[in-house]
Amino acid sequence: MKKKYNLLIVGSGEATRLKPFTTYIPKFLISLWKKPALIYMLNYWLNLLDLDNIIITVNPKFKEITKNYIKLFLTNDVFKKIKIIPIEWYYWSADATIKAINKIWINENLIISWSDILPKETIKKEIFDKRENIIFLNKEKWCRYNFDNWNIELVKNNQGNIIWLYYFKKFNFTLKDYVKGEDLIDVIKKSKIKVKGYELSFYDFWDYEKWKSTQLELDDNAREFNSLILIWNFYYKQALNDKWKDIIKNEIEAYEEYYKYDLIWDVFPCIYPSLNKESFFIEKVDGKVIRDIYDNLNYNQQKELVQSFMKTLKILHSKEINLSEKEKYEYCYEEYVGKIKKRINLIKDSIFYFDSIKKVNWVNILRFEEVMKKVEKWLKDYIKRSKFTIIHWDCTFSNGLITKDNKIMFIDPRWKFWIKWVIWDKNYDIAKFLYSSLTSYDKFNFWDFYISYIDENEIVYNLPKYDIKIEEYLIKNYLNKDTKIILWIIWLWLAEYIKNDILKMNWAYYEWMRQLSLVFKW
């Protein structure tokens, strides 16, 4: 019979060293790059061992948000194995650990991990098959206890090697075996049970500096879906998995659509097919990504860049396509209304107080259903004045290049394959440009966000600071009611897209509610 293991993740603390980011969420839900820390931890152990039970201890106030949020990342089969144990009050790690085990009576083949560590290397599975209790030791020497020749000793200046990860063939400790305030390692030391030590390297995110360091280490800049290889004066773009092979094929066909309208030459680098339909060549442009330089420009330079950007966009939009109002409405309803409902339905259980928040950053907001009704009413009227042209679909500053002669070129258009390829509402492109320049999505991507205050009726979050001068120029020249509504619809889509970061996911949702409440009320 295949051996099964049990995993206990002890995460019932207040995470004071990571506040304000952990004021309203447990530490293990903070993002470690592409996923919350807890998901990295679960994936690590699920890939290594056959887990029968996964026990997670939390402060009671975080139980529901933890349960609902991790559903977004796990299959039903894995989620069924999880038991979330609220522990309202405890005296340090021994108390929290033993209380959790006493509640569920799972104590054999038990792995115990603190909620702010993750092994950097893969543990050899066979060491768990031996009849031994194990303390995993860190190679970096930054703990208060040291393990050496079966002895556990307290050391000065935190130069020890005992990390907060254990394996027990059978966990026999009870509430009688420790003094309040002791660490689990204190209990093990007093008990004199036999333990073996194995050295590992660990990620540790118990405070802000270590959290940011872990994010940098995990961010290897890898492109999970395609590769870009520079060959002489061209980039060779190739899909890396089966899903993206189909997308690359569609991308090639979409570029062929751009060529049909003779607009690509003044807007995009030149595209050339390869020998297969799963890759292509794109001309290397001698220029800089706008996102990388925009914030360092003065007002006049920013203004000139914006004007050049919009000039190139105007070339792309110069070919107007005649569609019936019925066609326009069908296409726009799916994107501006249907997509909202689908995406929010996926994450609504992980939005703080989804149905009860009445005020966001001191603005009284409408209910979600009320906002959606107003968006639908706006859309019926908007269709009559909308213009469908050739568009880019994703013209943010991340996808814009400025050449040495100050010419703007676009890269990485994002097509909608269920409609007429590259044809759609041109105001969508304007809104996507404002998404990047006015509301600073690119900056938001790298911004440490936290909630300042929240209860069942109100939420206050810290707002990013914008350049007021260029903001006034952008609002005056490019932001009308229609583009404002589309702009904040795009922000709402971001809520589901950026679900790997629970704080930013909530920010995107509530900022949408605040902004559209302002639009529709006044």
- pLDDT, tens digit, 9 for 90 and up, residues 400-433: 999 988 889 998 887 765 455 788 999 999 999 9
State the virtual CA torsion across 440, 442, 445, 451 in degrees, nearest 10.
0
Give the whole-number percent of the chain exceeding pLDDT 70: 96
Q: Quick one: residue 92, left, alpha or beta (phi over 0 = left, psi -120 to 50 = alpha)?
A: left
- Where does the pLDDT of residue 442 fall: very low under 50, low under 70, confident under 90, or very high at 90 and above? low
Q: How far apart are CA 256 and CA 442, in angstroms?
A: 29
Q: How far apart are CA 179 and CA 190, in angstroms?
A: 11
Q: What are phi and psi of 509, to 5 degrees?
A: -65, -50
Q: How far apart are CA 493 and CA 317, in angstroms?
A: 24
- The stretch 199-216 carries a mean pLDDT of 89
Residue 222 has pLDDT above 60, yes or no: no
Domain 287-521, CATH number (from 3.40.309.10, 3.90.1200.10, 3.30.590.10, 3.40.50.720)? 3.90.1200.10
pLDDT digits (tens, 9 = 90+) for 268-279: 888 888 877 788
- Where does the pLDDT of residue 70 fall: very low under 50, low under 70, confident under 90, or very high at 90 and above? very high
Alpha helix positions (H), 20-135: 37-48, 63-70, 76-79, 92-104
| Structural domain boundaries in the chain | 5-218, 223-284, 287-521
Alpha helix positions (H), 219-364: 242-260, 290-294, 299-316, 325-333, 339-347
Half-sphere exposure of 46 (CA within 13 A, CB side): 15
Specify the pLDDT at position 290.
93
pLDDT digits (tens, 9 = 90+) for 483-519: 999 999 998 998 998 999 999 999 999 999 999 999 9
Q: What is the pTM of this model?
A: 0.89
Residue 263 has pLDDT above 70, yes or no: no
**What six digits make up the tokens of 17?**
């060293």
Q: Tell me the β-bridge partners of 203.
A: 118
For tokens 């522990």, the residue is 87
- Where does the pLDDT of residue 157 fall: very low under 50, low under 70, confident under 90, or very high at 90 and above? confident
- The angle, 0 to 180 degrees and rounded to 10, between the axes of the packed helices 368-382 and 325-333 is 160
Residue 237 has pLDDT above 60, yes or no: yes
Domain 5-218, CATH number (from 3.90.550.10, 1.10.490.10, 3.40.50.10440, 3.40.50.2000)? 3.90.550.10
Are residues 294 and 302 in contact, defined by beta-carbon separation less than 8 angstroms? yes
Amino acid in position 412: D
Residue 368 has pLDDT above 70, yes or no: yes
How many CB atoms lie under 10 A from the CB of residue 344? 19
pLDDT digits (tens, 9 = 90+) for 302-325: 999 999 999 999 999 998 888 899
Cβ within 8 Å of residue 67, ≥6 positions away: 84
- The stretch 195-224 carries a mean pLDDT of 82
Specify the pLDDT at position 143.
86
pLDDT digits (tens, 9 = 90+) for 321-354: 888 999 999 989 999 999 999 999 999 999 999 9
pLDDT digits (tens, 9 = 90+) for 19-65: 899 999 999 999 988 889 999 999 999 999 999 999 999 999 899 99
Specify the pLDDT at position 466.
67
136-150, 233-247, 430-444, 479-493: which is most confident: 479-493
Amino acid in position 109: N
Q: How far apart are CA 270 and CA 266, in angstroms?
A: 10
Specify the pLDDT at position 225.
64
**What six digits make up the tokens of 172?**
């026999």
Q: What are phi and psi of 281, to 5 degrees?
A: -110, 140
- The stretch 192-209 carries a mean pLDDT of 89
pLDDT digits (tens, 9 = 90+) for 98-130: 888 988 888 899 999 999 999 999 998 888 888
Amino acid in position 314: K
Give the whole-number percent of the chain exceeding pLDDT 90: 50
Q: Quick one: residue 292, left, alpha or beta (phi over 0 = left, psi -120 to 50 = alpha)?
A: alpha
Amino acid in position 503: L
- The stretch 169-184 carries a mean pLDDT of 86
Q: How far apart are CA 500 and CA 40, in angstroms?
A: 11
- The stretch 365-379 carries a mean pLDDT of 95
